[in-house]
Every structure is written in structure tokens, then in C-alpha cells.
Structure 1
């Protein structure tokens, strides 16, 4: 396998079993990561509108001011976003999809077998010998979606989709309130993230593992998670 630059993980999010819709969020990271170009805010994995497809979404650099995402944040060419897919429930990645910025575009590699797995999977090399696809990075005024080989790709600013009443949560923690209201106030409304999205046919992945979900034992399941890795 042709090797490219070596990357080491500095952040990871969301070991989840994928069936229909799952999400994970982490907007308040440690000071060394929070606000950096590698900070992961959200990870979503779900079945697409076309139920023959899976969709993976990684949101980074959360809490960007409304209307200023492309002015205050850009994708970092030294940061690799890596979607990990475990098909046999051994909690080790069997396939990865990598995304990295080059110039004005986001380039995607895979799904392909990674060179490093398990504990060694904290580092990666770009799988430049695997299938390479790209999409021009969108701005607020210029939305770009590429469709290549049945795969849809997007990279650019979006409004943060995560809903959480942070102010009420802080009041409960401080003892000034005892419960959330029925509707709540979304602390993240109007704030932005930089999103990396890939939608691909399920047929591009090997079969998952049955018997994992006790509520749907015949449904094949995958463990999926996302990592951000910086060049070393």
C-alpha cells in the first residue's frame, strides 16, 4: 500500500452501533483541544433518505459565530478526519474513510482497509492508493455537493444541529433549578460548525454483525466512530 504522511490522533468521538440513527456530541473539550482546528463537536451516523445508503457526518470547530464561519474558521490541511467502521464487533476498525483538505477542496479516501488498527489505529497514513474523490469546500453563499460513483460528498459551514439547554443545565447543577422545561432554549441555535459529510451505498461496506442489538437481533450492526488526527 502506498503510504503518505503520518498522522496521530488527538481527538475521537462516538463508539456507536449503527442501525438507523445514532449521534454523539462533545462541545466542551479540554483547553488544549477546544477551539482548535481539530476539535470534534458532533458525530452522526444514520440511514439515508435513500435507505440503501449510510450517512456519516463529522462536525468540527463548534460554537462559531452565526454568519462568520468562513471568516473565522477554515479546514486545516494538517488535520485528517477519519471515519472508522468495525464490521465484526471486535472494536477494531476494519475500514476507514479519510477526509483531508487540499487547496479549495476536501479529498476523501476509501472506504479502505487501514494500515493501523486497534491501539495502533491512533496513528494513520493517508490511503492515497485507494479510491480518491473530492468536493469543493462550500461557503455560506456557495453550497457544493459532489456525487461520484454513487457517493455524495460535502464539506463546509453549517448551523450546529445539536440541541441542548446549557443555561438551564448550569442552573440545575448550581441548585437554582430542579428540572428542564418542556421546550427548553437551544444554546447552540445560530452557532455554526464546519461539517464533513459522506453518503455512500451500504453495498460498499461488508456485512455487519447480527445478534448485537437485542431489540433487533437479525439486523446487521456496525460500530462506527470518528477521529481527528494531526500530521506529525
Structure 2
């Protein structure tokens, strides 16, 4: 970790770490009541039900990281509360010095952020990014041939641009085109002012809003040793941020609330559901190209990733269903209901740590993951689509989405535990970059939203309370990537 610490000197704030998984938190008990190239010309045919989301948790997508969707976020913009910011990340575990080709977005994929504003589990709005690559000089192996001081610097050999479309009602509108992607952070000598490069890639949109695509520090924070028998089976493996020092490819979109709300009226219809997804062509041809850096792709489009709420496919959906989940759509989520009402994780915690698993069926988790929280399920109106005045209740369908109530303003003092910490602007009401979704999810799955959860539940966590690189208070909010020279 010494390399990572040195890389962040003066560039970010390292949050305090806890030393133990179980710790009492004063004032938390009772909060639940609040709410609760291979060979030349080789033909590659991706499987129809390829897998993605959440940092290599699924079998098939681990071999296709460029479309591995790691996290999705949705929150009211803290510096512009009339807008909502949507964030989706791909390509996990980027070693900063991993050149010479570094980490481009795929040019034969569609990167989508979907919005459901009437609760029927179908996208009413889809924002779609598609990417193109080019080289200035293919007679070198270098990503850049000298110090890069601007996005149009001749020394930036490899570059990407993207088209952003808004799809609604069967109509696609190009919102922005040939927008530059912020490059991978090769190193301090190659990019002496990376912040300037990122800033130059921020693009305003017609009618308000902004878009960004490029490399960023991975905002997710957790101790991945949870998979070693839940932190070693004896709490000996907690408190280490497994994602510290790694980057991701990030897409960030900021749009006015009226662009997202049902009938364009966020006052009457403040709740939206959000998920990201990725599609690939059914076949790609790898081999000699025309010099543009593009590969030949053809055939129909197949969904290869899907991600709404965090950790659902990682720890709720079992191994044999993960491919099915990621190839499926929210409208078909009834087939996964039993994994929510009778989850595996509480049984494992009971077996290893002797904390009693809450009784089933887990209707509290149905509210968190499939319907949103309302008086109908957990006694408090928070983020169910039924809160939208113009929604047709007869067409509202349970589905896995990240639901956000846009009428709840951002707070100046966010609580990392979100709703469980008394902060209704946080997860599971949308998701902010700083929400500690591992601790929140562990506590929720152990019954923190139930009327009388076991006392030990309020101390569940992984010992990692925040990221290794600070988030920014302005668009695009995600932290600067770790330099390849660090």
C-alpha cells in the first residue's frame, strides 16, 4: 500500500479505517424505523447471455472487462440541485501502469443508462454512448509520443470520441457527437496536468446538463476478502480497501430533473428508476484494420451486462442464475423473486458468526430491491414509483432498479450509511458516491429495516468507510485516476 499512499499525497483524503467487522454505533439503533489480437482475422462470437456488473463477480464477463459494468449511481447534484447526476462505471481493476494500450472504451459496444419514470419496469428514456478510436501514428507502440498538454496535442497518439443519444418513445436524438474522451492517465511525465485534460473533456449539453467520459479512480470501496469465508471466518480480514489504487472507465451525465420525470413534471412525479446496461454486437472480426483502430463488428446486439442497485447480482443472485440476470430486463425480474425473499447471505452469517437470520419471506428486502420504500411496505414514503401522482398503479411492476426520489434535496453533511444513518438523500434512495453500500447492505440483509433487529446488526461492516481518493464537489464528482507513474 505504500505506493498507493505516496500516489495520493496531496491529491486526496484517506478516510479512517475500522479495525473490526463488528462495532457498536451510537444512535443507529432505531434508525430503521425512519425507513426504513489474437490470430489475424479471428472470428469471435460473444455468448448471448454474457455476464457483467460488479467487479468480475460473474463467470463470463471476467473475460470481457471493457463491458464489465461495475457500479451505477444516481443522486441529486449537490452543487446544482435542479439537476440529477447519473454515473456508470466499466472496466474494473485497471492497473494504472498497464500500458502501452491502457484502457479504452470498446468501439463495438453500446453503453446505456436507462430511466424508468412510470414504474412499469421498462426504460422510458435511454442515454446511449458509442465510442470511436483513432491513432495519429501507427508506426509507434506508444500511447503518447511526448508530454500531452491538451486533448488535441499531436503527442496524444491514441484518442477516443463518443456520440451521446437520448432515446425515448422509439425516437433517438443525437445530443452530442464527436465528444473527446479523457485519456488514461499514463503518468506525470506524459500528462503533467491531468486535471486540465479532464476539465477540457467536460461538455455542456443543449438545454442544460453536462457529459463526461474517461478514466477515474474507482469510487467503490470495500474489503473484497468477504469472499474468504466472510472475512476469514474469524473477522481477521477486514479494513483493507481492495480497490485502492485501481481505476475504472467512468461515464457521468448531469441532466435537469424535468428531462427525467414522468410528463416532465418532477414536482408531481419525483421518483425515477435507473439502471445501466451494455450491449455488444453478436460477432466481431479481429485482425488487420484500416488504421483507424476500429474492429469489424456485425450481427444483432446482445445485452452483456446490467446493473441497478449494488451487490444484487454479486451476493443475492446465485451462481447458476447470474448469466440469466444480466441478459434479462427488469420487466422479467419476477423470476428472481425467491432469491430476494429467501437470501443466502443471512444463512451464511448465521453459520459463521451465529447472528440469527431474520425470518422469511423477506418483504423488507423486496421493498429495497424491487419496489421502492413506501407506507405500503415499510411504513414510510421514500422512493416507490407509486409516489408519482401521474403513475398508473395498475402498470407498476416489481423490478430491480436503483430508485431515486428527486424531491429530496442533497444534504451538506452526508451520512455514509444513508437512510440507515438518518440521511434520506442516500442509499437506498438512489446512490451517492460516498454511500457505504457494503455496510448498508450487510445491515439491511440482516434485518436492519425490520422493527426489532438483533443488536449485533447495527455494527456490521467491512472496516472500510470511504475511498482512497477524495470525491470532488463539482461535476463530474468522481476522483481523479491514479497516475501510471505512481
TM-score clears 0.5: yes
Q: Residues 260 and 272 of structure 2 are in contact (CA less than 8 Å); yes or no, is this contact kept in structure 1?
A: no
The equivalent of 1:185 in structure 2 is 240
Contact 2:261 2:269 in 1 (8 A): no
In structure 2, relative to structure 1, the CA distance for the partners of 1:69 and 1:80 (3 Å cut) is: farther
Gap change, CA 1:203 and 1:9, over 3 Å in 2: farther
Which blocks of at least 5 consecutive residues in structure 1 are unaligned?
Answer: 1-7, 14-25, 116-126, 209-217
Q: Give 1:79 shift.
A: 0.7
- Alignment of 1:147 onto 2:223: no
Instruction: Give the drift of 1:52.
Output: 0.7
1:94 aligns with 2:124: yes
The gaps in structure 2 that reach 5 residues or longer are 1-47, 134-159, 186-193, 282-299, 301-486
Shift of 1:174: 6.9
Deviation at 1:90, TM superposition (A): 1.2
Going by fraction, where is strand more abundant, 1 or 2? 1
Q: 1:28 aligns with which of 56, 61, 73?
A: 56
Deviation at 1:179, TM superposition (A): 7.4
- How far apart, in 2, do the equivalents of 1:66 and 1:197 lie? 20
Aligned to 1:83, the other structure's residue is in SS state strand
| Compared CA separation, residues 73 and 173, structure 1 to 2 (3 A) | same
Out of 169, 176, 201, the position equivalent to 1:133 is 176
> 2: CA distance between counterparts of 1:84 and 1:53?
16
Bigger helix fraction:
2
C-alpha separation in 2, matches of 1:59 and 1:165: 19
Distance 2:205 2:84 in 1: 15
Per the alignment, residue 123 of structure 1 pairs with: none
Number of the residue aligned with 2:284: none
DSSP-derived class of the 1:131 partner: strand
Q: Given the superposition, is the C-alpha separation of residues 70 and 151 from structure 1 closer, same or farther in structure 2, using an over 3 Å criterion?
A: farther
TM-score by length of 2: 0.36
TM-score, with structure 1 as normaliser: 0.72
User: Does the CA contact (< 8 Å) of 2:82 and 2:256 recur in 1?
Assistant: yes
- Shift in Å at residue 99 of structure 1? 0.8
The question of 1:80 aligning with 2:110 is answered yes
- Aligned counterpart in structure 1 of residue 68 of structure 2, from 19, 27, 39: 39
Using the alignment, how far apart are the partners of 1:189 and 1:114 within structure 2? 41
Count residues with an aligned counterpart: 190
Q: Secondary structure at 1:88's aligned position in 2? A: coil
Shift of 1:11: 5.0
